[in-house]
Chain A
Amino acid sequence: MAELLLMRRFEIPDSHTLRVYRETGGYQGLAKAFGMTPVAILDAVKRSNLRGLGGAGFPTAVKWGFLPKDSPKPRYLVVNADEGEPGTFKDRYLLERDPHALIEGMTIAAYAIGSHLSFVYIRGEYIKPFRIFSAAVHEAYEAGLLGKGILGSGFDLEVIIHRGAGAYICGEETGLISSLEGKKGWPKLKPPFPAVRGAFDCPTIVNNVETLCHLPHIITLGGQWFAALGTKTQGGTRMYSVSGHVVRPGVYELPVTATLRELIENHAGGMPRGRRLKAVVPGGSSAQILTADEIDVTMDVDGLRDAGTMAGSAGVIVMDESTCIPEALWVLARFYAHESCGQCTPCRESTGWVEKILARILSGKGRPEDPDNLLDIARRGAGTTICAFYDGAVNPYLSYVEKFRSEFDYHIHHGECDVQPGRVVTGLGTR
């Protein structure tokens, strides 16, 4: 495995403590950052080609650059630790095994953008990560690494840890902001974008945990060095969460130039019991599915985009030949129907509709026109909604049906599955 940046402390006992963090070079990036101007930090980040690792893959320096220069309002940094994308679990590892890396990265970011109050939004189910991270924050305050005059720099930063309460949509940055403000997690209309008017109507930067965890070594080793690990348009490494039908599910940190095949076959150990690969979702459930023939692609943002899918949150779900694709899509359709916030019409109505059509197909009552209807519904709703949640649902709707059309048709014409004949799917239609 190439050099580890994000995961280098994961196997060290007590890696979550300040002591171990400091013994392994922790907080050196922050000390160096305080010797730099915020503009110099922004410049290093720009040169690093760091792209957001929460899902959208947006260049981090560009996002920071959207902050209004002359607003008298305070600026907020919001850490997105609401990890919820099916197939993704990397932020959980970071929170549990290297919480100080997040604190350090977050402080560097806050210093660079001129924020003195940071919110860390942790999904409600993550209780252990919340406890470990809270303890680390406490340690950091005690050690003068948070609060007033951090490391004698004169820079102040307060941190508020905010726990979610169970809603995938709060991972979407404006849904998160609504939730942070004490409301239900309805995403907000854009414009205005959060950088201009975000949390509490103030300029706000939302960054993913993993994105921020990259900042300490970008500062210590330099933007160019980081950029050199990746492609022309995306620097560094990232953490791939691998699950499903593989021998060694887990998180793997690889340069973004690694291919999907390498990840699945070399790192995750391939399929168990010698089964053959059928399909892979490379970037969390909201990414388009790839067939077994399509995995020789690099897993950087642009590489996967060019392959007709997306890097998303780098949650890789592997499906072997025993998988019924219509059933897999129904499971996801149920997820999207359950998690749609319900605010805007196309998403609210069609996520439920698609789920019902798929449940009907699986229960043996499919109609010949169903696959075309599914495609049509998905295409019609795409791009019409308030937030990207619905496009994230459309990606699987379209790609599963388009790439595995014959499986849907088989279900419809035979009333059962061609992969596992006679198999009955339980719990259909429940949400």
Chain B
Amino acid sequence: MPRLTIDGKEIEVPAGANLIEAARRLGIEIPHYCYHPGLSIAGQCRLCMVELEKNPRPQIACNMVAMDGMVVHTQTPKVLETRKSIMEFHLINHPLDCPVCDQAGECWLQIYYMKHGLYDSRFVEEKVHKPKAVPLGPHVILDAERCILCSRCTRFCDEITKTGELGIFNRGDHSEVGLFPGKVLDNRYSGNVVDICPVGALTDRDFRFQVRVWYLDTQKSVCPGCSRGCNIEIHSNVRRPHHAQGRRVARLKPRYNPHVNDWWICDAGRYGFGSIDQGRITFPQLREGGLLREVTWREALALLIDRLRAYGPDEIGLLASPEMTNEELFLIRRLAETLGVKNLDFQVPPREPGDEDDFLLRADKNPNTRGAEAIGLWPADRGLDAWEMLEALRREQLKCLWVFHHDVTRCGWPEGAVLEALQAAQCLIYTGSNVNGMTERAHLVLPAATYAEKEGTFTNFEGRVQRIRKALPPLGDSRADWEILGECLEALNAGPKPNRPEEVFRALAHAVPAFAGLTYRDLGEYGLMLREVAHGASR
């Protein structure tokens, strides 16, 4: 491990680290545009200049590997002056339309100009004109005049997705980012180019002009779109909802996790947040005379307990969901144990096989299948699995079915048979977030919070347990599954309801060996592997 000195401070860094990364470890930020840790070194923007002792000219830090004994200066008058010059060169052909640019507030030209630029403008010539507001694909729009030609986007398409849609055409100051004539930027990860574009050249068609970034709140979470469990940030807009037609979630952004997704997420995950604010079930409902009627939680829970007590354990089925958190699944398992119910399952076949590739996307579109398996949401000895529960409903052997989140009317099973079974149920309880085929048929509908509205953990397909956090209050009267289940267990005298998911997790870590020793604190930023996996005893 090389040991070097940066601005008078010594540090040891991993072999091969460049000077930007080495400085970052000391909390020293070396400004840069083209460098991105996930992409090859381009060295084009020339902003990351530093001085090395015994070297007459400033050097770019991105292409300089840290070496033992190096002495680096990032704040000399020469460095500061060079940065200022480079900033000026970046800006001469850049439009001066920040007030109408959607990147305002998170634009690295603005940020670095304030920190490292601040010269008097002296460019009086005509700027080079290039195409503006060009849709590149379903998600991304290009303003070539704002582009500073850092080549991050082209390198992303060449090196990460290997789809090569983007290029830098022509040369000199006529150089221009674009697509091959007639092509579209529609690879499964296209939205990432918006994140890595340091300026307002590539923006999100979906997010454009919806809300100014300084009105956004951020929360760390995990994408529920598939079993990869990519780390994300939820950017929500609760301060100015009227700016986005009441849409609270403004956008999702990838969050770095070297074990899971590096800096990236897929477009399906990125743009799949509509269901958090649309089509939601916002209050408990009870079916009476064929119609759903709004009821209070008190009424709903009383009814729920009444039903669960009314039937024998063999007449009840519980169909959990791999969309639920580990904590919630654990509470369902406890509920099954409390009631003596053996008919327990969590898996329902998807209507179509999920999209998969050799990068991030996984065919299993559930965020917590691995967690459900580890916690053991399987039928207890000779209990019924999901399909058998439906068959038993149809034969009227099973009387009461509580379904969490699955819309079994739209899954891989024959629809006719499913509808017939649901029709035969004496009591069909549905807990879910969004209106669907189940809300049309359930007798009791309990509105559940989405993943963005609660705390908890998911276990990804590799067995990595990762935290999700509450970015928003549950919409309307909806409640997190763990709360609903907690109330239910308390009413059934199975212990006091938990105050926080962390309490449940502690119990889970105690009860389920795979989770033994894990705590919220230790999960940290990047999550931790299940024990059985960590010890190589994966099932």
Contacts and interface: CB of A to CB of B under 8 A. Distances in A.
So, do A and B actually touch in the complex, CB under 8 Å? Answer: yes
Interface of A: 167, 169, 184, 189, 191, 337-346, 348-353, 356-357, 360, 367, 369, 373, 380-381, 383-386
B495 to A, nearest CB: 63
B46 A344 contact: yes
A356 B173 CA distance: 12
Contacts of B57: 383
A345 B44 contact: yes
B352 interface: no
Interface string B199-213: 000000000000000
A380 B172 contact: no
A338 B82 CA distance: 25
A271 to B, nearest CB: 35
A384 B58 contact: yes
24 contacts: A167-B171, A337-B173, A340-B171, A342-B171, A342-B173, A344-B43, A344-B44, A344-B45, A345-B44, A345-B45, A345-B89, A345-B90, A346-B89, A348-B173, A349-B89, A349-B93, A352-B93, A352-B128, A367-B124, A373-B122, A384-B49, A384-B86, A385-B46, A386-B44
Query: Majority SS of interface residues in chain A?
Result: helix
A342 B170 contact: yes
A191 B46 contact: no
B86 A345 contact: yes
Given A349-B93, A360-B125, A341 B171 contact: yes
Contact of B175 (A342, A369, A380, A383): A342
A330 to B, nearest CB: 13
A342 B45 CA distance: 11
Contacts of A349: 89-90, 92-93, 173
Interface bin, chain B: 35 or more
Given A341-B172, A344-B45, A352-B93, 15 more contacts: A167-B171, A189-B41, A189-B42, A337-B173, A342-B149, A342-B171, A344-B43, A345-B149, A348-B173, A352-B128, A373-B122, A383-B58, A384-B46, A386-B43, A386-B44
Contacts of B44: 343-345, 386
Contacts of A356: 125-126
Given A342-B149, A384-B85, A386-B43, A348 B172 contact: yes
A202 to B, nearest CB: 19
B58 A351 contact: no
Interface in B76-102: 81-82, 85-86, 88-90, 92-93
B343 to A, nearest CB: 62
Rank and list the top 8 A-B pairs by shortest CB-CB distance, nearest first. A342-B175, A380-B85, A352-B173, A356-B125, A349-B89, A340-B172, A189-B43, A342-B171
Nearest to A167: B171
A341 B123 CA distance: 22
B175 A348 contact: yes
Contacts of A351: 172-173
Contacts of A360: 125
Contacts of B170: 342
Contacts, number: 92
Nearest to A354: B125
Contacts of B43: 189, 344, 386
A351 B122 CA distance: 15
B159 to A, nearest CB: 15
Contact of A342 (B88, B89, B172): B172
A340 B173 contact: yes
Contact of B172 (A339, A346, A381): A339
B95 to A, nearest CB: 14
Contacts of B174: 342
A401 to B, nearest CB: 16
B168 interface: yes
B63 interface: yes
Interface string B42-65: 111111010000000110100100
Contacts of A373: 122
Contacts of A369: 122
B148 interface: yes
A354 to B, nearest CB: 10
Contacts of B93: 349, 352
A337 B47 CA distance: 21
Contacts of B85: 346, 380-381, 384
B171 A184 contact: yes
Interface in B24-56: 41-47, 49
B86 A346 contact: yes
B466 to A, nearest CB: 37
A333 B44 CA distance: 22
Interface in B222-276: none
A352 B58 CA distance: 24
A352 to B, nearest CB: 4
A169 B172 CA distance: 11
Contacts of B90: 345, 349
A346 B46 contact: yes
Contacts of B82: 380, 384
A350 B290 CA distance: 75
A383 B149 CA distance: 20
A350 B172 CA distance: 10
A103 B148 CA distance: 44
A20 to B, nearest CB: 41
A387 to B, nearest CB: 11
Nearest to B45: A345
Interface string B125-154: 110100000000000000000001100000
Nearest to A380: B85
Contacts of A385: 46
B65 to A, nearest CB: 9
A183 B174 CA distance: 18
Nearest to A351: B172
Nearest to B167: A184
Which one of A360, A381, A385 has the greatest number of beta carbons of chain B within 10 Å?
Answer: A381
A344 B149 CA distance: 8
Nearest to B63: A189
Which one of A169, A342, A350 has the greatest number of beta carbons of chain B within 10 Å?
Answer: A342
Contacts of A348: 89, 149, 172-173, 175
A152 to B, nearest CB: 46
A380 B58 CA distance: 12
A167 B170 CA distance: 11
Contacts of B60: 189
Nearest to A385: B46
Nearest to B81: A380
Contacts of A380: 81-82, 85, 88
A344 B60 CA distance: 12
Nearest to B170: A342
A290 B515 CA distance: 79
Contacts of A381: 85, 89
A352 B46 contact: no
A373 B124 CA distance: 11
Which one of A191, A340, A356, A383 has the greatest number of beta carbons of chain B within 10 Å?
Answer: A356
Contacts of A353: 92, 123, 125
A167 B171 CA distance: 10
A323 B379 CA distance: 95
B174 to A, nearest CB: 7
